[in-house]
Copies of this chain bind each other. A is one copy, B any other.
Amino acid sequence: MGKMKITEGKNGKRIVEEPCEGPCPIERGMRIVGGKWTGSILWHLKDKPVRFNDLSRQLSGASKKMISQRLKEMEENKLVIRKVVSDQPVAITYEASEFGKTALKFLDELQLWVNENGL
């Protein structure tokens, strides 16, 4: 985290402060996988490449614009891989990268938490 600062309170207790600037790990992580629909998209790519419109149909709550944006940023973050499968007719697939798959562990955990608590 940030640089720890240890001071001494007047009562003799040690006061440990770890100021969380330039966001701390959890926050940085959230900025990568916590975007709107990011987690869900990754989840849907977990075991096979999926084409854009298929993805769009599966995530029926998200607009194409949204999905397009997220996919682009996920590609930049190396979470997913975009592949041109064929021109004429145009066919593109997206799949989770190896790195992207490492994030699934935690998404699993999240999903479990949601289900266990009926959220």
Residues on A lying within 8 angstroms of B by beta carbon are: 2, 17-30, 32-34, 36-37, 39-40, 43-44, 57-62, 99, 102-103, 105-107, 109-117, 119
CA distance A99 to B23 in the complex (A): 25
**In the bound complex, do residue B110 and residue A30 qualify as a contact, i.e. CB atoms below 8 Å apart?**
yes
> Chain B CB within 10 Å — which of A57, A116, A117 has the most?
A117
Q: Which of B19, B28, B29 contacts A58 (CB 8 A)?
A: B19
**In the bound complex, do residue B19 and residue A40 qualify as a contact, i.e. CB atoms below 8 Å apart?**
no
CA distance A4 to B34 in the complex (A): 25
CA distance A22 to B34 in the complex (A): 17
**In the bound complex, do residue B39 and residue A111 qualify as a contact, i.e. CB atoms below 8 Å apart?**
no
